[in-house]
Structure 1
Amino acid sequence: MGLQWDLIGIITLAGILMFHCFAHSEKAPYYTFVKDANSAPEIAYYDYIIIGGGTAGCPLAATLSQGARVLVLERGGSPYDNPNITNMENFATTLADMSPRSPAQQFISQDGVFNVRARVLGGGSVLNAGFYTRADTGYVKEAGWNETLVNQSYEWVEKVVTFKPPLMEWQSAVRDGLLEVGVLPNNGFTYDHVSGTKVGGTIFDTEGHRHTAADLLQYADPTRITVYLHATVQKISFNYNNGTARTRANGVIFKDVFGVEHRARLNKNSKNEIILSAGAIGSPQLLMLSGIGPSEQLEAHGIKVMVDQPLVGRGMADNPMNAIFVPSPRPVELSLIQVVGVTKFGSYIEAASGLGFGYSWAQRLPRDPGLAVNQTDQPFMGSPEAMSEAAKTINAAASTPLRGGVVLEKVTGPLSRGHLELRTTDPNDNPAVTFNYFEEPEDLKRCVEGMNTIIDVIKSNAFLEFRYPTMSVRALLTVMLNVPVNLRRRHARAAISLEQYCIDTVMTIWHYHGGCHVGTVVDHDYKVIGVDALRVIDGSTFSGSPGTNPQATVMMLGRYMGEKILRESYSRRRK
């Protein structure tokens, strides 16, 4: 049989490499309390103001509304108004949307890696590949969380958004291949994070419809919660008594889509709070815009320093992803992440299949030619004109579903760390983020081990019917070196060196975290150190990405901390 694939088809797959990375009803919930920010009054008062209606913010708000008056300010729109979000087959289309009000706001890290941050009610759970898995018990213990409340919080989430995926041929072949090459034991279907090969949960139901953190708002008391969409917070406001008392958050200033300014203030109660849940990019950015961060950086942007906190935006990390595309001689099903191999050396092996995706690469030129990683080699990307021609080719094939799939790895717990810095004082602008992929040799060693495992899976007997016998692994690697997965330079030796291959073809799996670490920026109750009435509850507080996909734990954390805050408030009232 001839090799029935071409480079255009392979390039269209590049987009799928960008991810990761009410009772079960197909009906979208209708929330009377969700409104556009242009309907907000000039000023209003609440017990809790949550900045960010994302993966943590929605469960947090729903929980707090059971005992207090809550405001949620979400800079994006509703997931229920966008059909691309609803169905699995539109997953890649949503990621590719570069319109001004897209739910996916594109950015390029200083490392030259394409990335996306959520801009929609429900946050990253609206954009991701849907994999659902809990954190391992060691992670929970290290975080100091109450294990009973953690398990109850996971279950609260799972009643609404999770499903057992229907495992079909491609995913079954990946599972069997992992077992064949020694990623043992076979753990079957489980939400638990355990070593070996398993089938995890998914937030896509049996009809392929996505369920997100926004669905958790059905738990909210509709009489005590208000959610404003297209509400972009400009900064947090504070009381400050001439240095004689601690800085205290007292409200926020936000703008609607027309640029009209509104204010939300805390009710006069010493225990009311503002909670940042704007994500690993948005939370440190908003702390800085509000005057909490490294004083030199804030002063350079003309921002009044409320608290000199040099560790805001520090310790940013992103789990590197590398992959191999495998063209198939037979049709494959549409699938996102369902099977995962949790290896003993610290990489997770996953797979997806059957997606077509045209990406607007011409709009993704680097801001700075200094992004190249090696000035001695020929640039891979070439001129803007060449990039434009490549984009036309890619977009011409955008509607073509691919016969094949991708096997990928995520390097867990990267030791390499970076930082986030302000570019401008406009909260709509992306800050400058550097992740320093593979700066630490141990991360690169794990990547190479992971790539060798992927190669073994592709060569396994279980995978035979999904690969062309005449196409070598070397050829597969060479193909990936010609796919514009990032803006980094390519090196000739990458075709023979897995170390260089990892460096040259690195991508994000979307699990970036840090910037507001527990113990440096916030305490173990997620209260901002040196400030009263202000917490950060989201992935920016994580020092590592929990589980194989963090969304389950981020949703759990929103519920968990909402419960803790309410219980503490109830206990104080009884005294």
Structure 2
Amino acid sequence: MLFRHASLISLLYLLRQGSASLFTDPTQVANKSYDFVIIGAGAAGSVLAHRLTEHSATNVLLVEAGRSNTDGPDVRDIQVPYFVVDIPPSFDWNYTTVPQKALQNRTLSYPRGYVLGGSTSTNFLFYTRGSSDEFDRLARISGDEGWSWKAMLPYILKASARLLPQLDMTLTLTAHRTTLTAHPTRPQTETLTPPADGHDTHGEVDPAVHGKTGPVLTSLSGNASVLDARVLQTTAELAAEFPFNLDMNSGNPLGVGWLQSTIGHGVRSSAATAFLAQDTLARRNLDVLIGTRVTRLVQTGRRGSSPVFLGVELAQSAAGARVQIQATKEVILSAGSIGTPQILMMSGIGDAGELAAHGIATVVDAPDVGKHMQDHPWVPLQWQVNTNDTLDSINRSPDLLNAAAEIYNATKQGVMANNPGGNQIGWFRLPRNSSVLREFGDASAGPSSPHFELTFGNSFLSFTQPVPAIGSFMSMCVALVAPTSRGSVKLASASAFDAPLIDPAFMQTPSDVATLTEAVKAAQRFAAAPAWADFVIKPFVAAVNTTTDAAIRAYIADQVATFRHPMGTARMSTSELDSGVVDSRLLVENAVGLRIVDASIFPHIFGAHLQAPVYAIAERASDLVKRAHGIPL
């Protein structure tokens, strides 16, 4: 954890957006009329609120359980990129998992953003779209070509603007290059901004697959690391296994490339800063209510044999007054892969037997609600290194940290303006002749989708081990990208104020254990390349004995943590599944007036850090909603 010093906090200054239409009491909106009520102001909900209110005649209420991202003495802790490893608990739901059977029955911390912007305001800032295979699989199994890579590109690039404003994009991939064709009229979302130090990024990114006019700001690292040259040298020395990839957001992520983070001008760029900025909050047709939970969805009638859910019940404490709001067109659940199934079940939408156990009458028997949860588990590996030029020195020294703060305050540059998770990232597949693939098959979305991920950190990184008091380190985070284990989210009680029972079921299939074991061995091969010969001293003590498969598996059981990417708990019905929760338009099946837009709808785990794919899903969902209700696009 980072050392905080009072003088450091007093030094920091950051741009803040206004709070023109933020409400803090549900009674303030109780008597208003809304076309849409959106539950959850994370990556999806913020996009939906912004896009739907682009048409001035459409009225929207956005409800967020958490706090403001701009008010309070500690808001700097979610705005300064370097502080990402130590987010204060007031911005978090502070969930924990149930004991994990395959992890020595450990109970894991399970962070989720409790603030405007949701987890985009508290995550590790990685901007990764995933492969073309991920979207193509979703289209194939849902029977809806609208989810394909080709069809989703305009929405991905709506979060990924081009060089000129008001352009729509079509991306064409070939074996060795990426080209982009522009089509007029569609607004954009992502903007590739210069790195904090302004260095020439030629050879580090392909600008053709990014934009320059959208609200979500992304950038490459603006703080050089002692690891950079050695990581790149390894891609040359071991090119067959660890090739260089100019831009992994082109649709083919495989290889090692420069990390793109949601940072602009030295400050975190979140769904809140991008889509709920002052000009959006000033819209007369958007109200944003914070600090308020949805206790249940309210049935407001029937249409044929299906219940209509256009009502929402709100409260600010378990014993507090209940306030009901009613939408005229739709209620849209964007509460995330934990909150969405919890709200559905509290509303009588879920497995009938589980609902009855909590005294909840079943309105829609939907056994898949809360089931099929997946997440990306990861393990840390560290090596002691022959240099003092790592971030460990800054993390241990109040004086050095305050000196870095002075640089940041004056220039928005230096280590604090950058992602401490590292400057490069790598995505890899098991080799074609892998015994793991022969035995268990391929769980990935296709040949351009990875099985595992490596990141390269210039310090000691871990959420399961204490930071050493002395020594300089480099770290690799080794993540399982295509796990087959499936867990669940279940109710602990019928109250919205009791945390649900979260079970990601990490490492509970033999294929997951085998694949992550191979990933650890790949990381060890990377660190054993000639580029590291005079740099790496030895593995950190906890990993010294990871020289056999059995030892690696024991290490995995002891060290696995979450990469914070839950999904699948309200999955889309597809051709290969017996059941689901939403259809391909994201409408809740066997109900009327209710749509789900967040990571819970993925029927298979998505091979990426989730914010970029969810932005894209929400952009398309915004158009689906507009078309359904005759709202101009």
Q: Which residue of 1 aligns with 2:457?
A: 352
1:50 aligns with 2:55: no
1:162 aligns with 2:211: no
Q: CA deviation at 1:26?
A: 6.1
1:234 aligns with 2:298: no
Query: Matches of 2:550 and 2:218 in 1, distance apart?
Result: 42
Show the 5 A alignment for 1:292-303: 292-303=349-360
Query: Matches of 1:563 and 1:45 in 2, distance apart?
Result: 22
Q: Report if the CA contact (8 A) 2:23-2:289 is conserved.
A: yes
Deviations 1:315-340 (A, max 9, x none): 01111101212233322145224422
Are the structure 2 counterparts of residues 177 and 536 from structure 1 closer, same or farther at C-alpha, using a change threshold of 3 Å?
Answer: same
Equivalent of 1:552 in 608, 612, 615: 612
Query: Matches of 2:26 and 2:628 in 1, distance apart?
Result: 34
Q: Which residue of 1 aligns with 2:395?
A: none
Q: CA deviation at 1:421?
A: 1.1
Q: CA deviation at 1:189?
A: 4.0
Identity of aligned residues (%): 22
Q: CA deviation at 1:34?
A: 2.1
| Secondary structure at the counterpart of residue 141 of structure 1 | helix
Aligned residues: 490
Query: Matches of 1:568 and 1:177 in 2, distance apart?
Result: 51
Equivalent of 1:512 in 555, 566, 571: 566
Are the structure 2 counterparts of residues 170 and 262 from structure 1 closer, same or farther at C-alpha, using a change threshold of 3 Å?
Answer: farther
Query: Matches of 1:499 and 1:565 in 2, distance apart?
Result: 47
Are the structure 2 counterparts of residues 307 and 406 from structure 1 closer, same or farther at C-alpha, using a change threshold of 3 Å?
Answer: same
Q: Which residue of 2 aligns with 1:135?
A: 130
Q: Which residue of 2 aligns with 1:457?
A: 526
1:251 aligns with 2:311: yes
Q: Which residue of 2 aligns with 1:498?
A: 552
Equivalent of 1:442 in 511, 514, 518: 511
Q: CA deviation at 1:529?
A: 0.5
Q: Which residue of 2 aligns with 1:37?
A: 25
Are the structure 2 counterparts of residues 328 and 428 from structure 1 closer, same or farther at C-alpha, using a change threshold of 3 Å?
Answer: farther
Q: CA deviation at 1:341?
A: 1.4
User: Structure 1-normalised TM-score?
Assistant: 0.78
| Secondary structure at the counterpart of residue 237 of structure 1 | strand
Q: CA deviation at 1:172?
A: 4.4
Show the 5 A alignment for 1:16-95: 27-37=15-25, 40-67=28-55, 68-81=58-71, 82-94=75-87
Are the structure 2 counterparts of residues 255 and 175 from structure 1 closer, same or farther at C-alpha, using a change threshold of 3 Å?
Answer: farther
1:196 aligns with 2:255: yes
Q: CA deviation at 1:191?
A: 2.6
Matching residue's letter, 1:231 = T
Deviations 1:323-363 (A, max 9, x none): 21223332214522442211122111112334789x8x9xx
Query: Matches of 1:147 and 1:565 in 2, distance apart?
Result: 16
Are the structure 2 counterparts of residues 311 and 405 from structure 1 closer, same or farther at C-alpha, using a change threshold of 3 Å?
Answer: same
Are the structure 2 counterparts of residues 443 and 187 from structure 1 closer, same or farther at C-alpha, using a change threshold of 3 Å?
Answer: same
Query: Matches of 1:175 and 1:300 in 2, distance apart?
Result: 56
Are the structure 2 counterparts of residues 416 and 104 from structure 1 closer, same or farther at C-alpha, using a change threshold of 3 Å?
Answer: same
Query: Matches of 1:71 and 1:83 in 2, distance apart?
Result: 27
Show the 5 A alignment for 1:261-340: 261-267=322-328, 272-330=329-387, 331-333=389-391, 335-340=420-425
Query: Matches of 2:81 and 2:357 in 1, distance apart?
Result: 44
Are the structure 2 counterparts of residues 502 and 226 from structure 1 closer, same or farther at C-alpha, using a change threshold of 3 Å?
Answer: same
Q: Report if the CA contact (8 A) 2:27-2:323 is conserved.
A: no
Q: Report if the CA contact (8 A) 1:188-1:198 is conserved.
A: yes
1:419 aligns with 2:488: yes
Runs of 4+ residues over 6 Å off in structure 1: none
Matching residue's letter, 1:70 = V
Query: Matches of 2:232 and 2:125 in 1, distance apart?
Result: 18
Matching residue's letter, 2:344 = L
Q: Report if the CA contact (8 A) 1:104-1:127 is conserved.
A: no
Query: Matches of 2:334 and 2:470 in 1, distance apart?
Result: 36
Are the structure 2 counterparts of residues 401 and 56 from structure 1 closer, same or farther at C-alpha, using a change threshold of 3 Å?
Answer: farther
Matching residue's letter, 1:550 = L
Query: Matches of 1:513 and 1:343 in 2, distance apart?
Result: 21
Query: Matches of 2:593 and 2:471 in 1, distance apart?
Result: 51
More displaced stretch, 50-59 vs 110-119: 110-119
In structure 1, runs of 5+ residues without a counterpart are 1-11, 14-24, 362-389, 482-492
Deviations 1:18-40 (A, max 9, x none): xxxxxxx9622224122223562
Query: Matches of 1:457 and 1:476 in 2, distance apart?
Result: 18
Show the 5 A alignment for 1:96-115: 97-98=88-89, 101-111=90-100, 112-115=107-110
Matching residue's letter, 1:143 = L
Q: CA deviation at 1:77?
A: 0.6
| Secondary structure at the counterpart of residue 169 of structure 1 | coil
In structure 2, runs of 5+ residues without a counterpart are 3-12, 101-106, 140-146, 161-187, 191-213, 392-414, 431-450, 574-579
Q: Report if the CA contact (8 A) 1:413-1:544 is conserved.
A: no
Q: CA deviation at 1:201?
A: 1.4
Equivalent of 1:125 in 120, 125, 146: 120
Query: Matches of 2:533 and 2:118 in 1, distance apart?
Result: 38
Q: CA deviation at 1:547?
A: 4.2
